[in-house]
Structure 1
Amino acid sequence: MTEPSRRGVLGLGLMAAAVTSCGTGRPAPATAPHPSPDTAGASPQRAGVKADEKPEQSLPGAADWEITNPGPAGAIEGFADRVSVLPGEPVGLHVSTPAAAFTVTAYRIGWYGGARARQVWRREHVPGTKQPAPHVDGATRTVLTGWQQTLAVDTAGWPEGAYLLRLDVEDGSGQRYVPLTVRSAITAGKTVVMAAPATWQAYNEWGGYSLYNGPTGGLATRSLKVTFDRPYEYDHGAGLFLVYEAPLVSLAERLGLPLAYTTGIDVAREPGLLHGAAAVLSLGHDEYWSPEQRANVVAARDAGTNLAILGANCCFRRVRFEPTELGPDRTVVCYKDAWAQDPGHRAGAPATTDFRVGPGADPESAMLGVIYDGYPVDAPYVVGSPDHWAFEGTGVTAGASFPHLVGVEYDKVETAFPTPRPIEVIAHSPVVCEGRRSHADTAYYTIPSGAGVFATGTMRWVETLDAHGPGGTSADHGVDARAGDLVRKVTENVLRTFAAGPAGHTRPAQDNLGAVYGVQ
């Protein structure tokens, strides 16, 4: 579930029909080898210097990294054969274009004196090939491309981080992005930025199908499995990254915090990856998790790693990853209400449906403190506890209101579901969702390990980091610079506090559910 963003890339309102709209309801009963680097043709051109020579923030930024001429459909598009690589590992690009040649430029997203990206690598004059039209698997309605690899990119010397590889047709007829994470092998002592490509792929309608929609625009013809072996349709190929993740990456890098980068898929695959991490960040739209990812994040929390949920509707869908011919974990499986038809489940795998429902119900609130409550809403964000450390330096008072900051999905504290205690509700925002009155909650809880868990309760949080204008517009949901200032400062407070170690040792939660909800 999501909404049109300030970049106008999503427009997925009809997808809400595939999920519970307003109301949580009640608790339910209880690898293929990768190619070697492409050495043919001109040597890659690199910009800047190695990461160990200067901090990333001090390197020159690129003013021209954004797509300005996407061109017509099919002008150029592509995908990477891995969602993430370690620095120095090759990644294969599968590109389709009718043009004779194109250029690939790798941009690292961050903070470069105010610029959001810098150029790290470039390859010109790559021969173009028009790849075959996709086909659809009859059983699962999965879009399959079968595209051949166009070139392999050597990531030697690339710093860890979030990347967009931009494809430019050399005759100027079109541009597209391919997202990539250059991941961290070690996260100890660092704040971990955990990208959510499984959620990007769930909403990806390239080829006419997503986990929400098919040709009829609804559940009946949607995919039961979706694959990373296809381009992203939204935001010129960037998926949901630019709206729900890039603003946070930029802010975190501006703060100069020790950062590590990974994806939810890597966290699922590597049980020890988060060992010793200071904090884990779940960004603006992080809906689709595997049980393995959740277990590994919970284990890190229980060992003292802080967790920040900077969105809403997090960890709502339970998924399974399966391989494709290009490698492991290239398919996202989520049968949702049709879980009983899933051959994997019949063979013993957990049901790929909502975490909160059976079989195997495990409501997300046990990890998050809050639980998804509804869609769609557009409401003011209302401060409840202005003296809380998260609001330090904001100057807010009790009842301070920030129009449109709550939306389009929201979370709340709901003790009918498992809820860690002590927990503080620090913003308690009235909402009306399809005629039902409720609240969106920003909440903070701590546990004996010392870990602190902070959840914003609104999906617009990360987007609002980019709200700098004098007044909100329809393009950015009406969120204005005043809300932007609040969100930037609160996020900075949370990131700095969480980077310092287990927040519960210095900032223990003071339970206030009695005052807010009348619950003891």
Structure 2
Amino acid sequence: MVAGYLDQVSAACGDTVGLHLSGYVSSASVTAYRIGWYGGAGGRVVWSEAKVPVAASQVKNSGAPTYTVEASWPVAARISITQAWTPGFYLLVVRARPHDAGDAIPLVVRDDSDGNGAPGSGSSPLLLQASVLTYQAYNNYGRYSLYYGPKDQSSKRTDRSRVASFDRPSNGDGYQAPFLYDIPLIGEAEKLGLDIDYTTDVDVDRRPSQVAAHKALLIGGHSEYWTRRMYDAAVYARDNGTNIAFFGANEVYWHARLEPSPAGPDRRMVVYRQAAEDPLAKSDPAQATVLWDSPQLQRPEATLVGPAYGELGATGGAFRVLQPDSWILAGTGAVKEQVLKDSLGGEYDTVKNDYATPPDIDVIAAAPILFSGQPAMATMSYYSAPSGAGVFAGGMTYWDCQLVQQCKNHEVNPSTAKLLTTMTDNVLRDFAQGPAGQRHPSAHRPAPSARALISSAASQSDVGIGPPAPAR
């Protein structure tokens, strides 16, 4: 087994990326795959090296109060990003033996021009933002993540990391995240032949202006952690006509800060969760790494996304079509009250119709849920902003993985996957044309109450069942 990480989350043509490896073998092969459609293959080889030297190294933990795990391993190879590396999403797969599955390390290759040779962020209509902060939040390499440490598995989580480092390999849910939440969307978008530029959370934090330079921003299934500059950039872009598609849920939920590590800038991600723990919160409450809708920040995600976070998923459950005339459902053949079997998966969002909800939000479909006997629901929604921008929210983190019928602990219904794929294609194609609200102005069409959805369900199997969600 060989583990590795890169010294950057993204690179542009002309850059050099450092690869750090550790394992109990003398060498390993490394193969770089560009992810896409490629006739159903899912990727193509762009670069490979048969023998990269490997040495066994250890990780270090800072201990309390931040419990930061960092590897700080020596560089095993320096990889030149040449013109052969077409901008896109890459996986660098490290294998100790030829037939190993290997350790896959994500890398985004950016287009840092404006299409005319000047500095920019690419000239494609669509910009896909890889959610590397959320990958890192769930990464438990070295037995610590922003959620848990090895000792306290209770809701208190006293020994979880407060500062997570990109200077380490990925493991657990953090390793699986791109496969579930971003890669299926990338494959579908490239299958359509759409022009796409690629970026990451970290890059948007560094250059917020890039978002508004595109016709639409695409967010995958789970983009939970956002910095202030990311949030500001998305709001500014929407208010100036850039569409935003959230093909997921639990978006824009926690405020994160980026800090340098000894290896370089923006290599550490800070999330204390409690303002009382955050050393910057007392002097500057706006820096507190807490929920975006907290008293310190007062910026509910619903003001941007449309819905707000609901709960940590449910067993079973299905969305029901409420507005079959929506342009997003065009070509699906969907009819009113049609049930999208087994469609609810992962975490979910819900339109709450409170002060933070955009006034003209259109709830396209909703899924009834019971949590310990309490009625709740997940929602798919769309709204148009005064600028003409359109904002779509899929309402569940398992939107993207259903496109390829490969979700974790969730059996995907093929008919539902086909319908979700058509909806995805409709959003991608339309959002690439510019402000969607000019073509499709939204109207306030709320869902029935959660209780009414539950009582009118044709089958109890269409109602999601779940326990109370753990503290987040």
Work out whether the TM-score is over 0.5: yes
Deviation, structure 1 residue 376: 2.9
Q: Deviation digits for residues 138-173 of structure 1, max 9, x if unmatched?
A: 321111222111111101121110000011114767
**Structure 2 segments unaligned to the other structure (5+ residues):** 113-120, 451-472
User: SS in structure 2 opposite 1:442?
Assistant: strand
In 2, Cα distance between equivalents of 1:173 and 1:396: 43
CA contact (8 A) 1:375 1:433 kept: no
Q: Residue 507 in 1 paired to residue 444 in 2?
A: no
Deviates more, 1:437-446 or 1:178-187: 178-187
CA contact (8 A) 2:291 2:297 kept: no
Distance 1:509 1:96, change over 3 A: same
What residue in structure 2 maps to residue 207 of structure 1?
142
In 1, Cα distance between equivalents of 2:248 and 2:162: 25
What residue in structure 2 maps to residue 425 of structure 1?
363
What residue in structure 1 maps to residue 347 of structure 2?
409
Question: 2:71 corresponds to which letter in structure 1?
Answer: T
Distance 1:172 1:448, change over 3 A: closer
In 2, Cα distance between equivalents of 1:178 and 1:394: 36
Q: Following superposition of structure 1 onto structure 2, how do residues 82-481 of structure 1 map, counting pairs within 5 Å?
A: 82-157=8-83, 158-170=85-97, 175-185=102-112, 186-215=121-150, 216-218=152-154, 219-234=157-172, 238-337=175-274, 339-348=275-284, 350-378=287-315, 379-467=317-405, 477-481=410-414
In 1, Cα distance between equivalents of 2:3 and 2:329: 43
Distance 1:187 1:171, change over 3 A: closer
CA contact (8 A) 2:363 2:447 kept: no
Deviation, structure 1 residue 432: 1.4
What residue in structure 1 maps to residue 462 of structure 2?
none
Deviation, structure 1 residue 417: 4.0
Deviates more, 1:343-352 or 1:241-250: 343-352
CA contact (8 A) 1:196 1:285 kept: yes
Deviation, structure 1 residue 278: 0.9
Deviation, structure 1 residue 381: 1.2
Aligned length: 437
In 2, Cα distance between equivalents of 1:145 and 1:515: 51
CA contact (8 A) 1:265 1:329 kept: yes
Q: Following superposition of structure 1 onto structure 2, how do residues 487-498 of structure 1 map, counting pairs within 5 Å?
A: 487-498=420-431
**Structure 1 segments unaligned to the other structure (5+ residues):** 1-74, 469-473
In 2, Cα distance between equivalents of 1:247 and 1:498: 18
User: SS in structure 2 opposite 1:207?
Assistant: coil
CA contact (8 A) 1:403 1:478 kept: no
User: SS in structure 2 opposite 1:376?
Assistant: coil
In 2, Cα distance between equivalents of 1:475 and 1:78: 24
In 2, Cα distance between equivalents of 1:259 and 1:238: 24
Question: 1:85 corresponds to which letter in structure 2?
Answer: A
Deviation, structure 1 residue 340: 1.7
User: SS in structure 1 opposite 2:309?
Assistant: strand
Deviation, structure 1 residue 347: 4.5
Q: Deviation digits for residues 442-493 of structure 1, max 9, x if unmatched?
A: 111001211000001111100110129xxxxx96512210111011000000
CA contact (8 A) 2:147 2:161 kept: yes
CA contact (8 A) 1:179 1:238 kept: no
Question: 2:141 corresponds to which letter in structure 1?
Answer: W
In 2, Cα distance between equivalents of 1:404 and 1:150: 45
In 1, Cα distance between equivalents of 2:149 and 2:444: 45
In 1, Cα distance between equivalents of 2:228 and 2:242: 19
User: SS in structure 1 opposite 2:354?
Assistant: coil
CA contact (8 A) 1:427 1:441 kept: yes
Deviation, structure 1 residue 345: 2.4
In 2, Cα distance between equivalents of 1:129 and 1:211: 28
Question: 1:183 corresponds to which letter in structure 2?
Answer: R
In 1, Cα distance between equivalents of 2:376 and 2:132: 30
Deviation, structure 1 residue 372: 0.6
Q: Deviation digits for residues 399-450 of structure 1, max 9, x if unmatched?
A: 1112321122111111224111211111022111233211111111001211
Deviation, structure 1 residue 360: 2.0
Deviates more, 1:119-128 or 1:182-191: 182-191
In 2, Cα distance between equivalents of 1:217 and 1:88: 45
TM-score (norm 1): 0.81
CA contact (8 A) 2:212 2:233 kept: no
CA contact (8 A) 1:411 1:458 kept: yes
Distance 1:451 1:516, change over 3 A: farther
CA contact (8 A) 1:376 1:433 kept: no
Deviation, structure 1 residue 239: 4.3
Distance 1:514 1:252, change over 3 A: closer
Question: 1:447 corresponds to which letter in structure 2?
Answer: A
In 2, Cα distance between equivalents of 1:360 and 1:467: 38
In 2, Cα distance between equivalents of 1:173 and 1:509: 50
In percent, how many aligned pairs have the same letter?
37
Deviation, structure 1 residue 341: 1.9
